[in-house]
A = this chain, B = another copy of it.
Amino acid sequence: MKRSERIVCLVSYFLNSPYERVQLSYFTDQYKASKSSLSEDLDIVNDMFVKEGIGKLTRITGAMGGVTYEPVFSQKSNEDFIKSLCQKLADPARILPGGYLYMSDLLGDPQTVKKIGRAFVSVFSKVKIDAVVTVETKGIPLAYAVANYLNVPVVIIRRDPKVTEGSSVSINYVSGSSRRIQTMVLSKRNLAENLKVCIIDDFMKAGGTITGMVDLLSEFNAEVVAIGVLAEAEDKYNERVLKNYTSLINVKDVDAKSKKITVNQGSIYKTI
């Protein structure tokens, strides 16, 4: 195999297996290359990943050593993406009856979802995360996008128990905005005990749902080490119960009368 051929394989391998430590010997065996030429290959790949702002390779020497691709994307590319998202959300055609903002088209676009995942993992890269947790339905694609880059499983909290999930733990919580009592259910088989988890959701007002998720997760002795929401909006009637989170977008105001929407970048890059 020539260098350029090895590099095709290496790049494809790393992009598909983020945060997975691979022994150098795996590649030298696979490509029948010497350790020194492989080392040079990895330098080239790392340099270009850094230059393109799509992450870096981390090498650890020794018996437990190996090389790991860390997908941390540049702040500029994340902020450019958030800016374009804000522009799209500011379109008055998105205003729904009741002053809600239509966002499902953006959540349905795989490229947008991927970039939302990139923004979150870029700021979560310093904490160890064992699993990504979300609540059905709209947070699910975002949770998978994050989990794809972190290479950890996704756990979905449901609204009702399902026969196909086995025994489960459920809690009741008060939704911050509607002040109604709601239920959340998590199958016991879905999440092992004592894990470090990250919560991902699409939208947050007072934060009641996410607080409920934190409570439910404590039943599994899980430690919530990061919380990411795509969009946050102010709740005029209730104080926010949750303080520590990362949002990409802040929906300041939706004025159904004058058809004006004010959207800004959220707390990302402010909280860290």
Contact = CB atoms under 8 A, between A and B. Distances in A.
Interface of A: 2-5, 7-9, 11-12, 15-16, 41, 44-45, 47-49, 52, 54, 96-98, 100-105, 108-111, 113-114, 136-137, 140-141, 144, 147-148, 151-156, 158, 163-166, 187, 189-190, 203
A100 B164 contact: yes
B44 A151 contact: no
A102 B162 CA distance: 11
This chain: how many copies in the complex? 2
Given A7-B7, A44-B4, A141-B144, A187 B52 contact: no
A167 to B, nearest CB: 9
A202 to B, nearest CB: 9
Contacts of A102: 164-166, 189
Contacts of A45: 8
A45 B129 CA distance: 34
27 contacts: A4-B4, A4-B7, A5-B47, A5-B48, A7-B7, A11-B12, A12-B54, A15-B15, A15-B16, A16-B114, A97-B163, A97-B166, A100-B164, A102-B164, A102-B165, A103-B164, A104-B156, A104-B165, A104-B187, A104-B189, A109-B153, A110-B148, A110-B153, A136-B136, A136-B137, A141-B154, A164-B203
A32 to B, nearest CB: 14
